[in-house]
Amino acid sequence: MTYLIRGKVALLIKVVVVALLASVLLLLAQSAFAQREYVIAAFLAISVAILALTYLSKISIPLKFFIPGILLLTAFVIGPILYTVAMSGFNYKTGNIISKEEAIVQIKVRGIEPAPSGLSFDIKLGTVDGKPAILASDINTSEYFLSTLEGRTPLVASSLTFNEYGVAIVAPNFIPLNETEFASADKIYTGARFVFDDQFFIALEGFEAGVVSQQVLEFVPESDQFRNLLTGDVYTDNGRGNYALADDQGAILEPGWRAPIWFENYSNIVTDPRVREPLIRVFIWTVVFALLTVLTTFALGLLLALALNKAIRGRRIYRSILVLPYAMPSVMSILIWGGMFNTEFGAINALLGTDIAWFSDPNFARVAVILVNLWLGFPYFYLISSGSLQAIPSELMEAAAIDGANPRQIFRKITLPLLLQILSPLLIASFAFNFNNFNLIFLLTGGGPRNELDGEIAGATDILISYTYKIAFGSGTQDLGLASAISLIIFILVASISLYSLKKSKVLESFA
Amino acid sequence: MKTKRYGFAGVFAAIALAVSTLVAPSANAATEIVVWADESRGPNLTKVIAAKGDWVSGYTVKVVTFSSFDALKDAFDKATDASGPDIVVGGNDWVPTGAKSGKLAPITLTAAVKARFNPTQFVDLTYKGKLYGVPVDINNVAMIYNTKLVSSAPKSFGEMVSNYKSLKASKGLKAGLCIAGGGMSWGAHSVFSALGADAYKFNSRGGIVYGRSFTATTFGKNVRKYLMDGKKSNGFFPATDTGCKDNFLAGTVPYAVIGNWEWADYVAKGFTMNLMPVPGVREGTYGKMFGSVSGALLTTFAAKHGVESGAKSLLTNFFASTDGQVRYQAIEKRPPAEKGAQADSTVTAAQRGFGSSASLAGIPQIGAFLNSNKGGANYWDSAPAYWTAVLIDGKDAVREASKLAAIWRANTDGGKGDL
């Protein structure tokens, strides 16, 4: 009975399962490689090798149990942390997203300008002597010519055949492309410069139109510079992910690229008042919010647990009702509470007979946030407090009562200290969770209210993580580098506070 | 034993490689142009493009539909060389960030193609002098009035306020005018501008006249006069758009600014085409009704996929053509952007109604302008705070208007170079 399937069959099943898993990972590796995500591709390939080595050899039995967890931890925890660390050292924001090579290609493309004359032609694609050519028509001026990459040949109307719109489609020595050749010709003709005159060329804008254009920006690879051929301006790499004019660093060419700026994002947090000042305010509120949430939810949960710890009629029903807020998806609860706090139509104002602008006034908004989080969080502490109360030996309370202690003294001197010893890790975990309670803030207040008219950047209820989200993904400029730097600071803060608290509560020692 | 182990390794390697090869995606054919669109436009574009298969000779067009406009934007923000589309049908405000980040590619239209559109529509899709797509449809707002509450179109802002005050008690009105479409910045721009704070005035050539825009003192005084009773709101104009649509449909608000994308909901409730711009403080003047175009935007992925010319041809042959827009808007039911399509007999009354309201007093939403943090502020993000500060918090209407004007000025000075 120990093994349902054993022997060769089991071995074969194992090989097949591992092979199928490896095939999926190889497929993903292949896809990642095709998208030039080499680190991901390498990780997936190494994972396949590790899985094969672990499960198809007898290298280590414990490893067979640990390896899936280790790989998932690496992929979804360690990887993102390392990526965040790396990105925090880059100028990585709207306008500086792509690589330098891609940026150079695109600046060259954008460096092509239509001629001041605005001339354009209806064109027909084809070849002359096997080389790419266009048959160009200006139906307004009846100007026709053949243009190749080497030269331009004027044509007279009498030598041409026209379609119903007056566009030339057949000319001597010109072999037009047929429909099936268009797609394969795209790469050849796109970007080709068909001769117009000494200064201008014809650039394709689709298969039917050519626009007389000129190259305004020229890349000089030797000096890593862009040169404006009309004004003579020279744009050099400013070391921050853009080509900029030497005497006007604000005059940059777009797009830029991700460039390393090392610790600048971190120093901006300290030196840039537009980053520092809102961040300090948000940090203070984040700590207050997390502390108040833990205190209020724990207090209410414990109170209810104590109340229902005694045998009273209908205790099971009460217990079931109290767990309901925890059973409901928090997203739904938050949205419902959001509606109930609505100034004009909300149930709260209707019940109280008030017209409080809950989400427009900073203090009321903060109260609303704490109240909603109390609703969401107390069942958790009620449940764990209930369980912990059962775990405290009743003999201790009985002995104290015999010694003359009153119920308040028993709670203060025996029950609460023992409870805190048991619940300390959970209280610390709750603090850490609420420090990053993005969902509540995002869905209930969106971080607001914010007085934009007075130049406020962060909202009154923004916590660090929601503020970071706005920096990373808000409207206007998205600064992923700065957001990464703030994320790391949050990580260090939460980790430090948690470690300190755990150490103080000596929880780690009891696990040792 | 060794032979056995090699045997397992062989079985493993064979199965793994065989399966991965079998399910490996084949490379995209270079004859396919991929278009991304949202849940509304996607299915309709699929139908229209499939019905006439030769929009671009030698190419097939594949339309990928996303579950929502936000999902489409999110996917486009994360698109890579391999996964990205050749053309994306998106909002005009995608242009500045898409261009800056190197995801959108410029296109130069011939004079003949340009002539098919109102020049201000190109302003919507332009960033630093380069055009990044072609206008597809118009998203605009207009004011609707409930003829069961008010018998005729108001001639001035003051007339609307008077009507509200006289009907408030007898009809149980919850507000006089509210914003149901476009939010408290773009949607409410019609009220801002009706009361004197036009974010940008245009000259006849489609250029912005910066010096004549946003007069804070006039605007603030008008807010005091028409929207306040002392330091409190007189109830005519709510500070938020919450509940506006429901209240209008319930007959408790006589005037509402609505978006053309929601017109069907009003028709379903029996409303007819009583559309107009928000009237100004003087008879015969009107607030500027916000309107934007959605664009078919060329991406830089098209060049990487080797279909750039094909994609440009699809933009001009289908998206920017009368034929293409007539066929598409016949089922999408938005006001078409192209002039020939606007004049087509298949255009519905709603499409025309919004179109005429916009043409009487319309402004484009320009993504590159007033919607960035240039100058350290974002006008459109800040505008709703004005209504909160004045109508809810009771702050001084003129002083708060001056603050908003300062943001407008900083944002304008910083951002106008991006046009």
Interface test with B, best of A453, A475, A478 (most B CBs within 10 A): A453
Tens digits of residue pLDDT in A200-253: 999 999 999 999 999 999 999 999 999 999 999 999 999 999 999 988 888 999
Average pLDDT estimate for B15-34: 63
Task: Give the confidence band of A438 by pLDDT, cuts at 50, 70, 90.
Answer: very high
**Chain A residues within 8 A of B8 when measuring between CB atoms:** 11, 15, 56
Residue closest to B303 by CA, chosen among B85, B133, B27 = B85
Instruction: Look up residue B369 and give its two tokens.
Output: 């302008």
Per-residue DSSP letter, B53: -
- Most distant CA pair in chain B: distance in Å? 99
A184 touches chain B (CB under 8 A): yes
Q: Is the dihedral of CA B120, B125, B130, B134 positive or negative?
A: negative
Tens digits of residue pLDDT in B350-409: 777 776 666 555 565 555 566 666 666 788 888 999 999 999 889 999 999 999 998 888
Residue closest to A431 by CA, chosen among A300, A298, A304 = A298
ipTM: 0.81
pLDDT over threshold 60, residue A267: yes
How far is the first Cα of chain B from the last one, in angstroms, to the nearest whole number?
74
The CA distance from A355 to B232, in Å, is: 13
The rounded Cα B172 to chain-centroid distance in angstroms is 34
Tens digits of residue pLDDT in B69-88: 989 999 998 898 888 999 99
What confidence score (pLDDT) does residue B53 get?
A: 81
Cβ atoms of residues B213 and B201 within 8 Å: yes
Which residue shows structure tokens 């792509």? Answer: A98
Angle at B337 between CA B333 and CA B338, to 5 degrees: 110
Tens digits of residue pLDDT in B207-250: 667 777 778 999 999 999 999 999 899 999 999 898 899 999 99
The CA distance from B60 to A265, in Å, is: 46
Average pLDDT estimate for A482-486: 94
Look at residue A174 and give its three-state secondary structure: strand
Cβ atoms of residues A305 and A382 within 8 Å: yes
Least Cα separation, residue B415 to chain A (angstroms): 11
Cβ atoms of residues A290 and A435 within 8 Å: yes
Tens digits of residue pLDDT in B264-313: 888 888 887 688 899 999 999 999 888 778 899 999 999 999 999 999 99
Average pLDDT estimate for B106-119: 90
The CA distance from B335 to B355, in Å, is: 6
Task: Give the confidence band of B28 by pLDDT, cuts at 50, 70, 90.
Answer: very low
CB < 8 Å from B in window 19-58 of A = 19-20, 22-24, 26-27, 30-31, 34-36, 48, 52, 56-57
Per-residue DSSP letter, A412: I
Per-residue DSSP letter, A115: -
Residue of B nearest to A35 (CA): B82
Average pLDDT estimate for A145-149: 96
Average pLDDT estimate for A172-199: 89
Look at residue A251 and give its three-state secondary structure: strand
Helix, strand, coil percentages for chain A (3-state, nearest 5): 55, 15, 30
All structural domains of chain B: 32-139+292-364 (3.40.190.10), 140-291+376-418 (3.40.190.10)
Q: Which residue has the higher pLDDT, B414 or A381?
A: A381
A136 Cβ contact partners less than 8 Å away, ≥ 6 residues apart: A121, A122, A123, A143, A144, A145, A146, A147, A168, A202, A210
Tens digits of residue pLDDT in A496-505: 988 888 787 7
What is the pLDDT of chain A when averaged over all its residues? 91
Look at residue A291 and give its three-state secondary structure: helix
| Partner residue opposite B19 with nearest CB, options A23, A94, A187 | A23
Please give the share of chain A, as a percent, with pLDDT higher than 70.
97
Cβ atoms of residues B339 and B116 within 8 Å: yes
How does strand A120-128 pair with strand A174-176? antiparallel
Tens digits of residue pLDDT in B140-164: 888 999 999 998 999 999 999 999 9
What confidence score (pLDDT) does residue A389 get?
A: 92
| Partner residue opposite B102 with nearest CB, options A26, A106, A343 | A106
- Most distant CA pair in chain A: distance in Å? 122
CB atoms within 10 A of CB B404: 25
Q: Phi/psi at A223 (nearest 5 deg)? A: -105, 5
Q: Where are the alpha helices (DSSP H) in B102-227?
A: 111-114, 119-124, 157-171, 189-194, 216-227
For the ranges A122-126, A151-155, A500-504, B62-66, the lowest mean pLDDT is seen at: A500-504
